[in-house]
Structure 1
Amino acid sequence: MSIFDHVSLRTTRLEETQRFYEAALAPLGIDTKFYVERAEGGVAGFGRHGVDLFIGAVRGPEPTPVHMAFCAGNREEVDAFHAAALAAGGMDNGAPGVRPKYHEAYYAAFVIDPSGNNVEAVFQGPA
């Protein structure tokens, strides 16, 4: 069980960021669960079953970037995440591969999203 109930990101470029996450997270079985327009801007919710990730619009400077790691079901999902994220406009921040500095079965890929966040997909199981 995850230690988080949900994560919320804020961005000044909601439309672009929402499209990025729709494409990048699809290979992990994560999709858009809702979108609502509010006085302060729109909010999109993503998840596999419920809503685990919220992305909301803000006015003003872009918020400080964060690092998020999404669980993948296998190494192929990590590879597909990386390819989809790059095709959706993400910037490569680490191609799919084993990261032995963490442990010998840590297989991950990293991409910077349109808002500057470091987004990771990771599988921590046998090859």
Structure 2
Amino acid sequence: MAMAVAHQHRESSSDSINRHLDVGKYVRYTSEQVEALERVYAECLKPSSLRRQQLIRDCPILSNIEPKQIKVWFQNRRCREKQRKEASRLQTVNRKMTAMNKLLMEENDRLQKQVSQLVCENGFMWQQLHTVC
């Protein structure tokens, strides 16, 4: 009896994997479809399910795409936009940090030279002091 249960579990696990693979299919959009979706995105970043269904009805080029896939496209588009903004922000921060690092390295070099000069002067003074005594 235990083997039958294990076998049933294995089948249901396999079914689950197949269903997961179906859900994870990659949809390739034509440039016309992307243009249509981008136009809607420019008007509304997060269209409701009703708006997405209306979009499929009104735009024949999108008629072969499931509403769920259109929802995913908008999610991905918002994510890409957020990533672009973050990348731009980080590039700005990186440029500022690079400039600040350059200034600090120049100041460090200047101060190290100053320390070296003072060490030399100090050594010379000690030598003069001991020569006099």
More helix by share: 2
User: TM-score when scaled to structure 2?
Assistant: 0.22
User: TM-score when scaled to structure 1?
Assistant: 0.23
Of structures 1 and 2, the one with the larger relative CO (CA 8 A, separation 6+) is 1
Structure whose alpha-carbon radius of gyration is higher: 2
More strand by share: 1
